[in-house]
Amino acid sequence: MSISSIPYAPQIKTIELLERGQTQVTELPIYRDGGLAIIAAVKYTLFNPDETKHTDDQTGTFAGNIPKYTHGDGNLPTTMTLGEGYLQQWDITIGTTDYIFRRMTALVRRRLYPVVSDIDLFSTYKQLSSLKPSSISSYQDYIDEAWYTLIQRIRTEGGGLEYLVMTSESLRSAHLNLSLYYIFRDFHSSLGQSSGRYLDLANEHLSQYQYAWGSINWLYDQNHDGFSSDANDRVARQPVIFLNRSGNWRGGRV
């Protein structure tokens, strides 16, 4: 086995979420010099929070040079403990050299999905459809980047875990305005100007995003049971968090 210190960049925008009891594919694109690395082999291991191996050195695929592993039916049974602390290890051969990439993972009942798409952008600015550069078919990249930024901020500032938020619509305004900020900021940067209408719009939506973020309140699943703890009790990004404690205790996860 040979190893190398070449700094390949795995695309890890946020913690990986695996849904318990579901068949699903996890992937880890790896980049260098502006493109995907050429993959020769993939092995996948999933560690439990107690550092034991749940999935051990399983062969993955790499069609299109994107490493992937499929968790088949029954591979993530409902007996597994929900929550943080799981760890993916990808042993990947690039050319003739072996690399180990790791990614923190959470086992969840359900993922949180965004509610913003191109149609919401066009409802806000009908001109965006005609302003879309010919090099793209959609504003999805901007929407996705804004979503990942929101997820990271929920975890670092919001005091919560995104997959326990029950009301995805509570994030709509913040997500919409951050997406528009990214779009108009990019429009402005392409003009090479120090000021202009696109910069004004970018700053306007950045301000609206910050206001929307500060105003967010949601219904939250404090006990990891798949339902909001109190359907009439919305919390302002200050939920109680339970991390990796199992067993028969009140409020524990099952």
Q: What is the pLDDT of residues 127-167, one digit of tens each?
A: 999 999 999 999 999 999 999 999 999 999 867 899 999 99
The answer to whether 168 touches 112, Cβ cutoff 8 Å, is yes
Per-domain boundaries in the chain: 9-108, 111-254
Hey, is 104 helix, strand or coil?
A: strand
Which of 93, 95, 103, 106 is closest to 45 using CA atoms? 103
The answer to whether 229 touches 242, Cβ cutoff 8 Å, is no
State how far the Cα of 12 lies from the Cα of 88, in Å rounded to an integer.
Answer: 12
Kindly list the distances between the CA atom of residue 243 and the CA atoms of 153, 179, 203, 251, in Å, as whole numbers in the listed order. 18, 31, 37, 11
| Entry pTM | 0.86
pLDDT band at 87, cuts 50/70/90?
very high
- Tell me what the pLDDT averaged over the chain comes to: 89
Taking the alpha carbons at both ends of the chain, their separation in whole angstroms is 41
Domain 9-108 belongs to what topology? Answer: Immunoglobulin-like (2.60.40)
247 has a pLDDT exceeding 60? no
Phi, psi of 39 (to 5 degrees): -95, 140
